[in-house]
Amino acid sequence: MHVTGHTRRPASIRDVATAAGVSYQTVSRVINGHPSVKPDTRDRVLAAIDELGFRRNATALALASGRSRAVTVLTANTTHYGYASILRGVEDAARAASHTVGIGVLESADEAAVAAQVRRAADTGGGLIVIAYDPAGVRALDAVPAGLPVVGVVETPASPPGGDRPWVWTDDREAAYEATRHLLSLGHETVHYVAIPSSTRRTSARTAGRRQALRDAGASEPPPVQGGWGPEGGHAAGLRLARDPAVTAILCGNDDLALGVLRALHECGRAVPGEVSVAGFDDAPHSAYLTPSLTTVRLDFTGLGRAAFALLHGVLEEATQIVPRPVSAPELVVRESSGPPPATA
């Protein structure tokens, strides 16, 4: 179908300026609520905005502030629960502040590929948020050019970072400590661990928190079983652990791993929680609806995304001091999958 006709061009900030008889800089100040504009001038500009149907879009707001209103999030994953929830939090906060959000996917941890993606993101203007939960994200955070506003969403640091590190994180170490302590308090002699990958070669915060809880209780420290990120990895690890009758408690690095572990235990005829207790991490939406429902640690990833944007927005507006910080305390959610070991059940 062929359509003819004339489509009216949307009003621009300069159209408003012409209609109100002011400069476009004055219109910008009105849009941004700047106090230096005279009341009668402000009224003329607002009347022109209404008459022309001018819409405050990202371009107009960039003109108003002299800064880009675009933010790019660099991430190696957009589907896993933690990553996706962080993205949702960034988008929610950015929308409220009239910023646009772009997503740059780090498809490889290769140094050249990461550097190219960082350059493309930098070329869009504005600031960057890097989700550094994996080697590609860590490399991207390191590759951001000096002077470009950036906030990193990182694993729990081994020690408090300095003010030159605009980072936010959840306290995974404390979360793993609390989950392990809960399982030990039920009477289990030790807690096995199915681990997610760490973003670096060092021991992850979740691994460290579980280890510290075992040491504080004087319990043995079985080595972690690497499980990857998804249910298939948890299933493989669960089959391995299910063969050992001494295994009565398993902490999983995320709820997807726990899903696979639960399936493996079922296939091996080991009842949960009658013979083996299982706990997860993250409190993904499906965890409350498994059979049995999953004991897990709730982390506020959406709040983490909002906090990352808030920190970046403050840097962009030159209105805040960089303060690296954890975001919200983890919350242990006790459900049906954890209970006493068989000897005390």
In b/e form, how buried is each residue of 140-170, taking b as 16+ CB within 10 angstroms?
bbebbeeeebbbbbbbbeeeebeeeebbbbb
Determine the Cα angle at 328 with ends 326 and 331, to 5°. 125
Report pLDDT for 58: 45
pLDDT grade for 60, boundaries at 50, 70 and 90: very low
Q: What are phi and psi of 277, to 5 degrees?
A: -95, 145
Q: With beta carbons less than 8 A apart as the criterion, state whether 36 and 65 touch.
A: no
Q: List the structure tokens of 345.
A: 């059940």
Going from the C-alpha of 33 to that of each of 19, 47, 49, the distances in angstroms are 19, 15, 14
Q: What is the mean pLDDT of residues 104-114?
A: 94
More confident: 323 or 81: 81
Report pLDDT for 201: 53
Q: Has residue 106 got a pLDDT over 60?
A: yes
More confident: 334 or 14: 334
Report pLDDT for 70: 86
| Distance in angstroms between the alpha carbons of the first and the last residue of the chain | 73
Whole-number average pLDDT of the chain: 86
Identify the bridge partners of residue 152 per DSSP, sorted by sequence position.
130, 167
Report pLDDT for 7: 42
Report pLDDT for 1: 34
Q: List the structure tokens of 9.
A: 């061009």
pLDDT tens-digit profile of 287-314? 999 999 999 999 999 999 999 998 898 8
pLDDT grade for 191, boundaries at 50, 70 and 90: very high
Q: With beta carbons less than 8 A apart as the criterion, state whether 129 and 89 touch.
A: no
More confident: 172 or 66: 172
pLDDT grade for 96, boundaries at 50, 70 and 90: confident
Q: Has residue 6 got a pLDDT over 50?
A: no
CA distance 280 to 260: 11
Check residue 285 and report its DSSP letter. G
Q: List the structure tokens of 137.
A: 């994200």
Report pLDDT for 4: 36
Global confidence as pTM: 0.76
Going from the C-alpha of 17 to that of each of 32, 44, 46, 53, 204, the distances in angstroms are 15, 10, 10, 13, 56
pLDDT grade for 2, boundaries at 50, 70 and 90: very low
Report pLDDT for 27: 80
More confident: 345 or 204: 204
What share of the chain in percent tops pLDDT 70? 87
Report pLDDT for 5: 38
Question: In sequence order, what DSSP letters do the residues of 123-182 get, joined into one string?
Answer: HT-SEEEEEESSHHHHHHHHHSPTTS-EEEEESPPSSPPPTT--EEE--HHHHHHHHHHH
Q: With beta carbons less than 8 A apart as the criterion, state whether 259 and 231 touch.
A: yes
Q: What is the mean pLDDT of residues 216-223?
A: 97
Q: With beta carbons less than 8 A apart as the criterion, state whether 270 and 244 touch.
A: no
3-state SS assignment for residue 277: strand
pLDDT tens-digit profile of 25-58? 788 777 655 656 787 887 898 888 878 877 654 4
CA distance 196 to 253: 5
Q: List the structure tokens of 88.
A: 């949702």
The H or E element that residue 205 is part of is: helix 205-216
Helices 172-185 and 205-216, axial angle in degrees (round to 10): 40
pLDDT tens-digit profile of 229-259? 899 999 999 999 999 999 999 999 999 999 9
Report pLDDT for 326: 72
CA distance 219 to 204: 20
Q: List the structure tokens of 334.
A: 């006790």
Identify the bridge partners of residue 332 per DSSP, sorted by sequence position.
297
Instruction: Return the C-alpha torsion angle 44, 47, 51, 57, nearest 10.
Output: 100
More confident: 5 or 11: 11
